Structure 1
C-alpha cells in the first residue's frame, strides 16, 4: 500500500473517531444531567442553618443611609475616581499597627498561591470568619484558571496577546480583592487579641465606609452570614471600577471574541472539590455514571462576569452552598486540609491532569482519548502546570483610591443567601473539559494551526 493511501486511511479513521467523540459527548450531556440531579439530591440531604437576623439588617440599613446623608455634600465636591481618603490623626501605636498590617498584606499578596494560603490560615484561626474559607476556595479557582492559559488545551486555543491580558485580568482581580479584604481580616484578628474593636481604623486602611457598620455589628452578635454578604458586595464593587469597567480590560478583554470562548471553557465555573473518600467508587458509578472521576465537585456557573449584580448573586449562592450544606462543607474542608494549593487541576483530578509536561499527552485527538474511559493513563494526561512554574510574580499596578459607596443601590443585595438546588458540578465540569478538548482537536486539524 502506498504511503499516501496509508495516510488517507489514518485520516479517515481519525475523522471517524473524532465524529464519534462529538456524538458521545452529546449523549453524555443528557445522561450526565440526570445523574447530576440525583447526586445533587444526595448533597442536599443535611442542611446547616445560615444565621440571619432581620433586626441586625435593619440596623445596618439605617447606619448605611446615615453615612450617605452625612457625606453627601462632600461626595458632590470630590471627583469619584481620584478621591484619596482624608482621615483624622491617630496615636503612634495605631499608626504602627496600620504599618504592620500593610507590610503583612504586601508580603502575602505576592502571588495567587500566597494569597490562597493566607485566606486558609485566617479561617483555621478564626472559623467564625466564613468569608475567609469562601475566599480561599474561590482563589483556588482563580489559580487554576491562570494555569489553564499555559496548559495543554487552552494554550493552543488562545492568542498570545489575549492570553497575557487575560492573565493580567485574573491576577489583578485576585490581587485587588486581597489588597482590600486581607487588611480587614488582620484588623479583626488584632481586635480579638486586644479584646476590643478597632474598626475605627478601617478608613486608615482605605476600606470603604460601607464596611464599618458590618464589622461593628459582627463584633456585637457574631453574625457570620451578614458579614460574609457584606464582604462579597464590597469586594465585587471594589474591582468593578478598578478592573471590570477599566477601559483597558473592556477593550482588550471583556469585549474580545475570545473571552466568550474562555467563558465556555470553564473560566466561568467555580468548583469546590470534595475530599478523597467522600463517596466510594461503586456509589459514584450508580449515582453519577461510568465516565467521571471518583472525586466529585460542587459549585456553580457564573452566567456573565461583566454584570456586577450577577457576580454578587453568585457570591451569595456560593456561600450558601459552602456553609448551607453539611456534606459539602465537611468534604470541602477535607480537601483543603489535605491538598496544598499550587494552581494545578491535578490537585483535584490527578487521574485526568498532570503538572509535569513530560508526562502529558501531546497530540491532536485528546477528545477521543478523554471520552474513551474514566481515567487517562500515566504519560497521557492533560497538562495542568503549577502556577508559579509558568507565571512569574509581577509588580502591582497603582490602585485608584476612592470609596465606591456613594449611593444606596447596593442595599438591595443585603439579603439572606439561598442554597442552590443543584450543587453538583462533577458532570458539568467534565462536560466543559470535553468541549474544550473537541475545540482543541478541531483547531489542531486546521492547516494553518501552529503549535
Structure 2
C-alpha cells in the first residue's frame, strides 16, 4: 500500500514528539534549579506573622467546650436571645449581599478583595481572593485548546461542578463572617452572636470573638482555613456524586498532570509565579496544611506580598490565564495557535508570538451560573480532630513556581498531542 500524505504527516508529528521528550526532561532539571535560586532571592525579607501561641492554646480549650455532649454546647444551643431591630437589619443585608456576590467565581473573587481593601487585618480575604482566582483559571482550563481533546464534555462538566461547588460553598460560609466583622466595625460592637443564623460552625464563634478584641490576623486566617476545608469535606469531597463522577475517575488524575493541583500567585503580569502543589486533594489534613503554607508564603514573605497585592489591584479577574502570562495565552479564538501539536512549540519558544498563543477563554464566555440543590446544615465540629491544625503556619522554602507551572503545561501538551495522533 502506498503511504498517503496524512501518514507522512503523522510520522513527522510522531518524530517531533519523540524528539521533544529529552527536552522535556532537561526542562524539569533546569526548572528545579531555577526554582531554588528564585525562591532564595524572594525569601528575604520576611514579614512577621505575629502568631500568638498562648492565645491559640486558649482557643483550643474554648472550642473543646463546644463539642457535642458538653455542658457549654448544650447551654449555647438552648440559648436564643431575641434580636434587636439593628441585628435584624444586619442579617437581611448580609443575606442579600451574600446571594448577590455568590453568582459566579468572578463576583466572589472581587468581593473577597473588596473586604481586604476595606479592612487589611482580614488577611484571609486576600488569600481567598488569590485562591479563588486559581479556581476560575482551573474552570476555564477545562475549555482551553490544550485540554479540549483530553476529556469528553460530560467529564468536563462534572469537573467544573466540583470546582464551582467548592468555590461557591466556601464563599457562602465565609463571606457572611467577613460581613459581620465589617458591620461590627461600622457600629462599634460585636455582631458575632449572629454567626449561627448563617449556620457557621460553632468552631468559629470564639475565634471571631477573640479577634474582635485582639486582632490576631494570623490566628483568624488559620482558623478560617481549618473551617472552610472541613466545611467542604462532607459537602463536596466525600459527597457520593463527586466521589463517583469525578474523584474516582482516571480523568481526575489527568488534572494533576495538567497542573490543576497547582495554586499560583502571579508576581506581576508576565513575570514570575509563587505557589505550591497539593498532591492529594482528597485528604482533609493535607488541604489544611497546604492552605497554611500558602498563607505563610503570601503574608510571611515581603516580596511575594507586595507583588501579589499589586497584581490583584492592577489586573481584574476574568478567569483567563492571559491575565498573568499574556505572552503565552490569549482570550481570543482568532488569536490562538492553529497548530495541531503544541508540545514542540512550547519547548522551542519561551513566549508565543501574537496570533499564535494558547487559547485561555474568559470564564463567563464558556461557563454560565450554576444552580445547586439545598445545602446540608450540619456542623462539622463533632470532635477535636482538626484542633491540632490551630498551630503556627510555616513559610515554605521552595515556592517559586514559574518553571514547574510551565512544565505542567508542557505535560498537558504532550498528552494532547498523543491523543491527537491516536485519533
Mark yes or no: TM-score above 0.5. yes
Q: Residue 286 of structure 2 aligns with which residue?
A: 310
Q: Residue 335 of structure 2 aligns with which residue?
A: 359
CA distance in 2, matches of 1:190, 1:346: 36
Q: Residue 29 of structure 2 aligns with which residue?
A: 30
Q: Residue 369 of structure 2 aligns with which residue?
A: 393
Q: Residue 66 of structure 2 aligns with which residue?
A: 67
Q: Residue 21 of structure 1 aligns with which residue?
A: 20
Counterparts of residues 115-130 of structure 1 (less than 5 Å):
115-130=108-123
Deviations 1:353-380 (A, max 9, x none): 1111121123321111111111111111
Q: Residue 78 of structure 1 aligns with which residue?
A: none
Asked whether 1:160 is paired with 2:136, we answer: no
CA distance in 2, matches of 1:151, 1:341: 17
Counterparts of residues 79-228 of structure 1 (less than 5 Å):
87-228=80-221
Q: Specify which of 298, 301, 318 is matched with residue 277 of structure 2.
A: 301
CA distance in 2, matches of 1:401, 1:204: 11
Q: Residue 403 of structure 2 aligns with which residue?
A: 427
Deviations 1:187-217 (A, max 9, x none): 0000001111111111112111000111111
CA separation of 1:435/1:188 partners in 2, compared to 1, >3 Å: closer, same or farther?
A: same
Q: Residue 282 of structure 1 aligns with which residue?
A: none
Asked whether 1:382 is paired with 2:375, we answer: no
Deviations 1:272-328 (A, max 9, x none): 00014xxxxxxxxxxxxxxxxx51000000011100000000000000000010000
CA distance in 2, matches of 1:252, 1:73: 41
Asked whether 1:404 is paired with 2:380, we answer: yes
CA separation of 1:93/1:410 partners in 2, compared to 1, >3 Å: closer, same or farther?
A: same
Deviation at 1:91, TM superposition (A): 2.3
Structure 2, unaligned runs of 5 or more:
none
Which piece of structure 1 moves more, 91-100 or 372-381? 91-100
RMSD: 1.9
CA distance in 1, matches of 2:268, 2:68: 49
Give yes or no for contact 1:346–1:353 (8 Å, CA) kept in 2: yes
Structure 1, unaligned runs of 5 or more:
76-83, 277-293
Q: Residue 239 of structure 1 aligns with which residue?
A: 232
Give the paired residue count. 421
Secondary structure, counterpart of 1:271 in structure 2: strand
CA distance in 2, matches of 1:262, 1:186: 34
CA separation of 1:7/1:263 partners in 2, compared to 1, >3 Å: closer, same or farther?
A: closer
Give yes or no for contact 2:142–2:148 (8 Å, CA) kept in 1: yes
CA separation of 1:228/1:411 partners in 2, compared to 1, >3 Å: closer, same or farther?
A: same
Secondary structure, counterpart of 1:266 in structure 2: coil
TM-score of the two chains, using structure 2 as the length reference: 0.96
Secondary structure, counterpart of 1:359 in structure 2: coil
TM-score of the two chains, using structure 1 as the length reference: 0.90
CA distance in 2, matches of 1:378, 1:72: 67
CA distance in 2, matches of 1:208, 1:127: 24
CA distance in 2, matches of 1:305, 1:325: 25
Deviations 1:363-409 (A, max 9, x none): 32111111111111111111100000100112232111111111111
